[in-house]
Amino acid sequence: MDTALFEYTGGLADDALVSAQRMGWWISRAPELEEDVALANIGLDQLGQARNLLTYAGEIEGEGRSEDDLAYLRDERYFRNVKLVERPMTDFGVAMARLLTFATYQLHLYRTLATGDLGERDETLAAIAAKAVKEVAYHVDHATHWVLRLGDGTEESHTRMQSALDAEWPYLEELFGPLDPVLTGRVADRSALRDAVLSDVRRVVTEATLSVPEVPPALGGGRDGLHTEHLGYLLAEMQHLHRSHPGAKW
Amino acid sequence: MSTRRDWPLWEVFVRARRGLSHVHAGSLHAPDAEMALRNARDLYTRRGEGVSIWVVKASDIEASTPDERDPFFDPAADKIYRHPTFYDVPEGVQHL
């Protein structure tokens, strides 16, 4: 098995999957029905990306595990997502701060996978990424519009948007972890995306009259399966049905 | 808790493909025009229904009322010469 590629693909898949699950929390809870639908759409886009990526991870592994096996039957320790996406997202400001940062990262990541300067591009990841680029571009747009309105809105919305950004910012660093050298030229080097991603996010933050947080990065470890206490609860809810009724279908 | 003002209502018009007009698709709530356009995209074009969207604030639309129906529309009914019913429509013509 190509362990490095399996881990890399698993990281991309789990970021999207866990983020989708958090986004799903908003269904029926958004400020208006219209926003409910928008957030559900975004969550479903992410879920679609996760499904393709998990299926591919299963193929790389070569042990016959399907997307469902990987999504529903792995324990927390085997999830490779960053901590950014697993933490609770029950404040609308936090939801928009997270979507802005995470989707901007995904946009640069998927673009590089699909059309970046890669000598021995992984064609499957490139195809999955090419399909997802338009989706995440819309996610960035949606989050941008909200951050601008909340940041440059009322005093209350400004304060809450700023504290949301402050809360998310320490977790951005983990997105830009180093690339396993054996994957050089085959997939996107996430550490090389840092400047472009942060500069895009900073532009929105500044335009929204907010300040770019100056905070030390939080402890990483998500890519090695070391998570916050929140992921276990999220997985319990997400996996419960499949584990209680293995192979259940709609 | 502060009183919450509801978002205004917007009417949504979607053009299904080039060459056709925008058709009223429904309405939605949004805080401003830009967000209305985005909400419209999510609510009315997610199954590939459109190539273009218009949103118009519902309060900006001047509409005829049911009370005015007779003076507005009845006079047209008895003027048969206004209708192109005396022509044979060639076969195969779709958008007439």
* Domain-located, residue A47: yes
Are B7 and A32 within 8 A, CB to CB? yes
Are A34 and B29 within 8 A, CB to CB? yes
* Domain-located, residue A61: yes
How confident is the model at residue A218, as a pLDDT?
A: 96
Q: Indicate if the pLDDT at residue B3 is higher than 60.
A: no
Residue B34 contacts A where some CB pair is shorter than 8 Å: yes
Residue B12 contacts A where some CB pair is shorter than 8 Å: no
Nearest to A149 among B28, B31, B43 (CB): B31
Environment class of A23 (CB within 10 Å of its CB; exposed 0-12, middle 13-18, buried 19+): buried
In the chain, the amino acid numbered A78 is: Y
Q: In what order do the strands lie in the sheet with B52-57?
A: B22-29, B9-15, B52-57
Whether the CB-CB separation of A12 and A39 falls below 8 Å is answered with no
> What are the CA-CA distances from residue A143 to residues A18, A39, A57, A84 (Å)?
18, 10, 29, 16
Nearest to B28 among A34, A141, A142 (CB): A34
Q: Spell out which residues of chain A touch residue B11, defining contact as CB-CB under 8 Å.
A: none
Reading chain A (250 residues) residue by residue, the pLDDT tens digits are: 899 999 999 999 999 999 999 999 999 999 889 999 999 999 999 999 999 999 999 999 999 999 999 999 999 999 999 999 999 999 999 999 999 999 999 999 999 999 999 999 999 999 999 999 999 999 999 999 999 999 999 999 999 999 999 999 999 999 999 999 999 999 999 999 999 999 999 999 999 999 999 999 999 999 999 999 999 999 999 999 999 998 888 7
Quote ipTM for the complex: 0.73
* Domain-located, residue A26: yes
Are A37 and B39 within 8 A, CB to CB? yes
* Domain-located, residue B79: no
The total number of structural domains that make up chain A: 1
Structure tokens at B93: 């013509």
Residue entry with tokens 């997270």: A98
- Structural domain for A212, as ranges: 3-244
Q: Indicate if the pLDDT at residue B78 is higher than 80.
A: no
pLDDT in tens, B39-63: 999 999 888 778 999 999 999 999 8
* Domain-located, residue A160: yes
Contacts of B8 (CB under 8 A, 6+ apart): B29, B30, B31, B57, B58, B59
How many residues are listed for chain B in this entry? Answer: 96
CATH number of the domain to which A56 belongs:
1.20.1260.10
Interface of A with B in 97-136 (CB under 8 A): none
Contacts of A150 (CB under 8 A, 6+ apart): A92, A93, A96, A157, A158, A160, A161, A208
* Domain-located, residue B48: yes
* Domain-located, residue B80: no
* Domain-located, residue A199: yes
* Domain-located, residue A250: no
Q: Spell out which residues of chain A touch residue B30, defining contact as CB-CB under 8 Å.
A: 34
Residue entry with tokens 């958090």: A22
CA A179 distance to own-chain centroid: 18
How many residues are listed for chain A in this entry? Answer: 250
- Structural domain for B34, as ranges: 1-62
Residue A145 contacts B where some CB pair is shorter than 8 Å: yes
Alpha-carbon span A176 to A108, nearest angstrom? 11
* Domain-located, residue A221: yes
Residue B47 contacts A where some CB pair is shorter than 8 Å: no
A·B CB contacts under 8 A = 27
The total number of structural domains that make up chain B: 1
- Give strand pairing partners of B53: B14
Residue A141 contacts B where some CB pair is shorter than 8 Å: yes
* Domain-located, residue A249: no
Residue of A nearest to B28 (CA): A34
CATH number of the domain to which B58 belongs:
3.10.20.520
